[in-house]
Structure 1
Amino acid sequence: MNQILKNCLYYGASRVGELPFLRARFAARAAIILFHEIQRDCQSELMTGTSASLFEYSLNWLQREGWSIVGLDECLEQLARNDQSRRYAVLTFDDGYRDNVSVALPILERHNAPFMMYVPTGAPTRTMNSWWLGLRKLFLANDTVTIDALGRHFHCSDIRSKTSALTEVSQWVHQDYRRSAMLAPTFMENGISLAALNDEYFLDERELGLLARHPLASIGGHTTSHAALATLDEPSARAELADNRGYLENLLQLPIRHLAYPYGGPTACGPREEDLAKEVGFQTAVTTRQGRLYEHKLNEFALPRIGFNSRSGFSARMSGIIEAVQAP
């Protein structure tokens, strides 16, 4: 859908969703909200994260609209008790970005808002194939970019064209996550070190250990290498889950009971991955499938989350109107 039309739909849905009788009709008991980077200057990062102002807006909106921001364990406990007195929001951050601490944490502290950070082993160990960071660096550093694996040549001299080109190549990878390995020669030719980018963007082991002791923070697993589990054979997928859990528990000396599937869509995880997550000892797993939580239909190993990139998109998703419109 054209982005302008999508924004108009979100804005209209958000306004309609403010009507009290519709909010009551489509209200869910809880929602898990998905974040990655929380950026001070989104343009300089090619619009790849959530702005600090949008992040703070979302927390203000939740509290103004009567949503209690709680940890994942408390949320699921209240759903199991069929507590009808309040609605619950859970804040989650994938990958372990530095700006989750430098930018987001002061905002979270002001709101006394607990949160979950899902961390892949390869982020603090600097071994992850963070191809999305490599692509971002590639387009930021060059006005002419060739992606041989895609057979595309891009002329992009301004932020808008760079952002558009980055989006096109990223979508190509998301169509088949095995394509990410095909970008390695391009990164090498352009002097881009993914290990250096990991060091720049992600918390290290010491910083992660400090964060894990913060009273608002919980840490969850996110596999060893951030691979799309559905593309791996069963032993490899199981090892990705078990080894990551073991690594984090050894590093932090804390139980790791919650998981986020990398990428989290239907082509990245499914029923097999749910079974594997249970086998290795996780108690919940979140996806990136859009949706809120209802106590009468809850699969704790395929929990949906709310993702958004605008104020109207956030309020429309949280109101439930978008779900109602898109339902078959």
Structure 2
Amino acid sequence: MSLKYTAIRAAFELLWLSGAPRIARHLSQARGVIFTLHRVLPDAPAPFSPNAILQITPDFLDYCLERLPQTGIDIVSLDEALERLATARKGRPFVVLTFDDGYRDNLQHALPVLHRHAAPFTLYVPTAYPEGRGQLWWQAIEDIISRHDEIAFAGEDGPERIEARTARQKATAFDRLYWRMRKMPEPERLDLLAEFTRRYRYDLSAQCRDLIMGWGELSEIAANPLCTIGAHTVHHYELAKLSPDEAALEMVQSADILEKKFGRRPVHFSYPLGGPLSCGPREFALAQDLGFRTAVTTRPGGLYPYHLQALTALPRVSLNGYFQNRRYVDVFASGGVFSALGKLTG
């Protein structure tokens, strides 16, 4: 685990020991929290698994959904959360569950837990993914690095070769390539990804079909009354790196396709990756202009009444797979704590 996550874990411990989450729930004006989830998998991650931050176990999800009501926190849909924000009285705190990307394990491992607790949730779908045309590039580079003792790719100043024999070396290689891709314009990133996966004979389409629900499976989960389907672009591109017309097309087409598939136009949207590099005021305005009722980021924080004036720039708190400790659930659910942390780190 990196020094960053070690420091965060220490902060979680301090917050839990101090009782700050409980105090914040009583004193803060935060009404609730939107949780970000991605994968729900029963197996422990491998020693080298940088994307383990995106996964939690079914048991941890089950405990979260059991613990939250015990502390007086309701689990509500996104639409009900907006209704509660609009009321003058603070009322009971709440949590909203959201899942990004449409991983097959959401159907296999998450849905039974959600159903057992009658927990509503929103599932954001990038529409190229169910067709097998998605490029889960962050997982692809992890997979390739895990299988090789050295990797090579096109660097800024020419070819780069990085030794990747140990877990630490693999983590260094992953960080180098990941952030190189994150900081590139999308067309250049796609070119680098194509060259890198071709070099190591990695089939992105097969990976997508293996990890992501097809349209038939999505229809099954969408038919569940607990589920709300939201839009998540077509190709999962970082919208801030596209022209305004390209970004708008990604957003509109995803809603068009989902409406055609499920008979209802999605009114909720999730920005891919969702941080400051990926979306900002331009994208927030685009989402509003295109008719989305809400749009969520991955910027940490709680929900406050003032968010009714910024519904296309909503914060979320990630249920990070590195912190699957039962005593941290109270910290995760504290909107006031995460709003304060967001101000310190943002």
Tell me the TM-score normalised to structure 2 length.
0.87
- Is 2:97 aligned against 1:88? no
Please say which of residues 211-220 and 145-154 is displaced more in the overlay: 145-154
Which residue does 1:133 correspond to in 2? 139
SS of match in other structure, 1:15: helix
- Is 2:82 aligned against 1:76? yes
The aligned runs of 1:140-219 (5 Å cut-off) are 140-149=146-155, 152-157=160-165, 159=167, 161-176=169-184, 178=186, 180-181=189-190, 182-219=192-229
**Cα distance 1:128–1:20, how it changes in 2: closer, same or farther (>3 A)?**
closer
2:274 counterpart (252, 264, 273)? 264
Post-superposition shift, 1:51?
2.2
Post-superposition shift, 1:10?
1.6
Post-superposition shift, 1:9?
1.3
Post-superposition shift, 1:22?
4.3
SS of match in other structure, 2:277: coil
Contact 1:317 1:323 in 2 (8 A): no
Contact 1:290 1:305 in 2 (8 A): yes
Which residue does 1:51 correspond to in 2? 56
Over residues 166-223 of structure 1, what are the superposed CA-to-partner deviations in whole Å (9 max), with x where a residue is unaligned? 3443233333453532121110011111111110000101111111101111100001
SS of match in other structure, 1:43: coil
Q: Measure, in 2, the Cα distance between the counterparts of 1:282 and 1:322.
A: 25
Which residue does 2:333 correspond to in 1? 318
SS of match in other structure, 1:90: strand
Post-superposition shift, 1:313?
5.4
**Cα distance 1:227–1:313, how it changes in 2: closer, same or farther (>3 A)?**
farther
Tell me the TM-score normalised to structure 1 length.
0.91
Contact 2:302 2:339 in 1 (8 A): no
Contact 2:231 2:269 in 1 (8 A): yes
Q: Measure, in 2, the Cα distance between the counterparts of 1:289 and 1:19.
A: 19
Q: Measure, in 2, the Cα distance between the counterparts of 1:280 and 1:326.
A: 28
- Counterpart residue identity of residue 257, structure 1: V
Over residues 225-269 of structure 1, what are the superposed CA-to-partner deviations in whole Å (9 max), with x where a residue is unaligned? 111111111111111111110001001112211100111112211
In structure 1, the gaps of 5 or more residues are none
SS of match in other structure, 2:298: strand
Please say which of residues 17-26 and 88-97 is displaced more in the overlay: 17-26
Q: Measure, in 2, the Cα distance between the counterparts of 1:29 and 1:259.
A: 21
Number of residue equivalences: 328
In structure 2, the gaps of 5 or more residues are none
* RMSD (Å), alpha carbons: 2.3
Which residue does 2:16 correspond to in 1? 14
Contact 1:290 1:306 in 2 (8 A): yes
**Cα distance 1:19–1:49, how it changes in 2: closer, same or farther (>3 A)?**
closer
**Cα distance 1:13–1:27, how it changes in 2: closer, same or farther (>3 A)?**
farther
> What is the identity percentage for the equivalent residue pairs of Structure 1 and Structure 2?
32
Post-superposition shift, 1:83?
4.3
- Counterpart residue identity of residue 166, structure 1: F
**Cα distance 1:114–1:160, how it changes in 2: closer, same or farther (>3 A)?**
farther
